[in-house]
Amino acid sequence: MDSTNISKKILYWYDNNKRLLPWRKHNSKRQKQYFTLVSEFMLQQTQVKTVIPYFEKFVKKIPNLKRLSKINDKTLMKCWEGLGYYSRAKNLKKTAKKIVIDFKGCLPANIDTLKTLPGIGDYTSNAIMAIAFNIPVIPLDGNVERILKRVLYLKKDYEITKESLNKKKLIFGASKRSSDYAQAIMELGALICKPQNPLCTKCPISKNCVSYKKKDFGIVSKNKFNKIKYFEANIYKDKNKFLLIKNSKFNFLKNLFIFPMREVKQKEFNSIINKKINIKMSNMDMKIVLNTRNKKIKIKNSFFLDKNNINTYTLPSFTKKILNSVSKH
Ligand code: SF4
C-alpha cells in the first residue's frame, strides 16, 4: 500500500472538510498547547459535540495553564459540572500545577515525561505529541482503530490487539504536517468512516480499503463487558428538599454529593418493589432502587438540597438523574 499517497489523500480531504472546532483556533504556540491539553482531557470519555460548549466556557473562565494551576476547586468543578468523570478535572489541575512547578510552565514535549503527569496515559500523550508539538505519531483512538480495521480488513483476534494495531498504523505513513495529519485521520473516522453506515463514496481512501471492496463493514471488537452492580438509594425528602451526602464511601464520584446509597445483592434488589432506574457509568451498569422516605434525618457530611436553587450547587449528572427521577415520582 502506498502510504505517501494515503497521507496526501487524507490531508487533502481534511483541508476541505475539517470541522472548525474551538480548540483548533489558537493565537500562539503556547495557547495551542493549553487548548490541546484541556480538549484532550475533556475528550477522554466524551463526544466532540458534548465537549464543545464546555471547552468554550472552560477556556473563557480559565484561559491559561498558570490560572488553571491556581484555580479553586469550586470554580473548577463548576466549569466541569455535567461533563462527568470528575477525576479528569482534578487530574487536569494537578497536571497544570506540576507543569508550572516542575517544567517552568511549559508542557513537556516528551512522551515519557508526559506520561508521568496525572491523567495522561498512552493515548493522550501521543495525541499531545502529535497535535501540540507536530511530532510524527498517530494516536490510536477509536476512530483510527476503526479505519485500520476496515482498510486492512482485520477480523481475527490476534490482528486487533493494541500491539498489532499500533504496528499496522504504518500504513498511514507520515507527513511534515504531523499535527494536522493526526487530527485528519481521527476526523476521517468521526465524519466518514462512522461506526454504522460509513460514507464510503465520500472517502478519500476507498480505493485502498479492503472492507469497501468486500462490502463488509462489520467491526470486530474485543469483548468489553460492563459489570452490573445493584444499589439501594435512600431519598430523604422534606417538601422540596433532598438529603445529599458527600461521598467518601464509593470509589466512583469521590467527594461529590450523592444520595445516601449502599450496594446490595441482586436477590435483595429484586425483592424490593420500589421504583428502579439504570445509570451507565464508565466501568459498570448501575441498577438503583429508589426508596423515598418523607422525613428529616441528620447524617455526617450531609445537607438538604433545595431543588428550587439547584443551579447554585455543583452536582454530578449521576445525582441530577436520580433527582429528576424522584421529582417526577
Ligand atoms: S472506504 Fe468506507 S470503510 Fe473504507 S475507510 Fe473509507 S469510509 Fe471506511
Ligand 1: nearest atom to the Cα of 198:
7
The string of pLDDT tens digits covering residues 150-171 is: 999 999 988 998 899 999 999 9
The whole-angstrom separation of Cα 277 and Cα 292 is 13
Would the pLDDT of 107 be above 80? yes
259 CB contacts (<8 Å, ≥6 apart)?
233, 234, 235, 242, 243, 244, 245, 319, 322
* Residue 3 scores a pLDDT above 80: no
Distance 200 CA to ligand 1 centre (A): 5
d(CA 274, CA 223): 33
Distance (angstroms) between ligand 1 centre and the Cα of 288 equals 41
More confident residue, 263 or 307: 263
* The dihedral sign for the CA sequence 116, 117, 120, 124: negative
Residues 130 and 18 both lie in one domain: yes
Number of structural domains the chain divides into? 2
3-state secondary structure of 37: helix
Closest-CA residue to 72 (of 314, 245, 320, 302) = 314
Same domain, 145 and 190: yes
| Residue 322 resides in a domain | yes
Position 152 scores a pLDDT of 97
Q: Mind listing the pLDDT tens digit for each residue in 251-281?
A: 888 889 999 999 999 989 999 888 999 998 8
pLDDT at 329 > cutoff 60: no
Q: Is the CB of 203 under 6 A from ligand 1?
A: yes
Which residue's CA is the nearest one to ligand 1's atom 8?
193
Cα of 6 vs centre of ligand 1, distance in Å, is 13
**CATH number for the domain including 277?**
3.90.79.10
Encode pLDDT of 27-62 as tens digits: 899 999 999 999 999 999 889 999 999 999 999 999
Q: What residues are labeled active site?
A: 40
In the predicted model, is pLDDT for residue 227 greater than 90?
no
Residues 88, 197, single domain; the answer is yes
Atom of ligand 1 minimally distant from the CA of 202: 7
- The rounded mean pLDDT for the chain is 92
Nearest to residue 183, comparing CAs of 314, 7, 31, 50?
A: 7
Q: Are residues 266 and 143 in the same domain?
A: no
Regarding the beta carbon of 314 and ligand 1, being less than 6 Å apart is answered no
| CB of 206 shorter than 6 A to ligand 1 | yes
**Strand 261-264 to strand 227-238: parallel, antiparallel, or no bridges (unpaired)?**
antiparallel
How far is residue 147's CA from residue 139's CA, in Å, rounded to a whole number? 13
201 CA from centroid of ligand 1 (Å): 8
Residue pLDDT, tens place only, 174-204: 999 999 999 999 999 999 999 999 999 999 9
**79 lies in the same domain as 156:** yes
Segments forming the whole domain that contains residue 318: 227-327
* Residue 258, ligand 1, Cβ within 6 A: no
User: Does ligand 1 come within 6 angstroms of the Cβ of 192?
Assistant: yes
What grid cell was written down for 92? 487536569
Pair 33, 60 in one domain = yes
Say whether both 239 and 129 belong to one domain. no
| pTM exceeds 0.75 for this model | no
E strand spans, the chain: 227-238, 241-246, 257-258, 261-264, 276-280, 284-293, 302-306
Beta-bridge mates of residue 302: 245
Same domain, 141 and 249: no
Tell me the torsion sign for CA atoms 321, 282, 224, 194. positive
CB 147, CB 188: distance < 8 Å: yes
203 shares its domain with 305: no
User: pLDDT category, 224, cuts 50, 70, 90?
Assistant: low
Say yes or no: 198 and 313 in one domain. Answer: no
- The protein residue whose alpha carbon is closest to atom 4 in ligand 1 is 209
One domain, residues 107 and 209: yes
Last residue of one domain, picked from the residues 149, 181, 214: 214
- How confident is the model over 90-100, as a mean pLDDT? 97
Q: How confident is the model at residue 10 (pLDDT cuts 50, 70, 90)?
A: very high
- 252 with 105, same domain? no
**Percent with pLDDT over 90 in the chain:** 74
